Structure 1
Amino acid sequence: MTNFSRRGFTLGLGATGLVAACDNGVGSTGPARIDARVDATLNTLYSQYPGTTQLREKSSGILVMPLVTEAGLGIGGAYGTGALRVGGVTVDYYSVAKASGGLQIGAQQYAHVLFFMTQEALSNFRRSPGWSAGANVEYAIPEGGETLSAETLTSTSPVIAVIFGQAGLRLGATLEGSKYTRIIP
C-alpha cells in the first residue's frame, strides 16, 4: 500500500479543486446551458470531422460531453456534464467523473462524444446506475482535420468514442476509468 504524505494529499486535493473551479458547469449548469453546449460541440465535430456524420447516422444514441476538465498533480481528477441524445433529442443529462493517481502533472480540457452503435449498448448504458467506460469502447481520435479511418466507420464495436478539442498542458486523454452518472441539472 502506498503512503501519501500530507503534502501529496493537499496537492491532489488542490488539483481536484482546480477541476471543480473551472468553467465546466460544476454546480451551475442548467438544461438550457448544457443543450446549447451540446449543440455547439456537435456542430464543431461534424464540421471539423465530416466522417462522424456517418457514425451519427448509424448510431442508436449519442452521449455528448462538451467540456471535460482534467487536472492532476500526483492525484488527479476530471469532471464534466453533458446530454444523451436519441434521434437528435435530449433524453437525459449525465455527468462524467474520473479519479487517477500516479506520475502526472498538468491540466487539460477536451470534448468527447460516445456513439452507441447498437440498441443493446444504449439500453445497457441507460439502465446502469453508473456506467464505466472500459474495454468495450473503441477510440477514434482524429488529429488536426484528418478524416476518421474506414475501420472506425465500419467497426462492430458497441460504443465508439471520439475525443477532440484538447487544450492544456497534459498529454493524452482517455475515458478508461471514467464513470457516467445520470443527473438532474
Structure 2
Amino acid sequence: MMRGPVIAALACLTLAACMGAGEERADGTIARAVPAMSTKPVALQLRDASRFPPADATGPLDDPLTCLARTVYWEAKGEPLTGQSAVAHVVLNRVNADAYPSDVCGVVTQGGPARPCQFSFFCDGRDDTPVEADAYRTAHRVAWEALNGQSDDPTRGATSFHNLSVRPGWATANRRTTKIGHHVFYR
C-alpha cells in the first residue's frame, strides 16, 4: 500500500510551504516564525542514517550543515539527543533574530576566533576538527534534522545557553526558557 509514502510527501510539502512564510527584514532576508512550543519534554530519535549526507569531520566551516554540526559536536557532545538538538535550535533561532547574522555560519563564527565570541569552541584556540567519529556522526544527523525542519525546538525559542558549570553575567538579563541536560537556555 502506498499510503505511508504519500502522507509523508504531503507532510513535507505542507511543512515546506509553512516554513517559507515569514517577514522580510530590512537586509532583504526572510525571518521565519519560531513555532510555539509545548511544555512537554521532547524525546528525539535519530532517523534512518541512510538518508543523511556523509559526515565530513575535516571540512572547513563554510556551509550551514558543517557549521551547525561542529557547534552541536563541540558544545553538546555527550548530552542527550534533546540537548544536542537544543543547541542546534539556538543557532537557528539566532538566524531568525535581528540581533544576529542571518546565516548559520555567520552566527557560529560571530565575533571571530578571539574572545569574546558566541560559541566557546570557535575561539578557544584549539583545532575544531572533531576527534570522535561516532559522536560527530550523531551531531551531524542532529544538525541535518534541525536544518531540514525534522526536529522541534525543545528550547522554546532560546537564543542563548550556558553550561551549568558557569554563571555568565548576561544570563540575569535574559528569560530562562528551559534546562536540558547540563545546559540552561534563555531568550
TM-score by length of structure 1 reads: 0.25
> By percentage of residues, which structure has more strand?
1
Higher helix content, 1 or 2: 2
Normalised to the residue count of structure 2, the TM-score between the two structures is 0.25
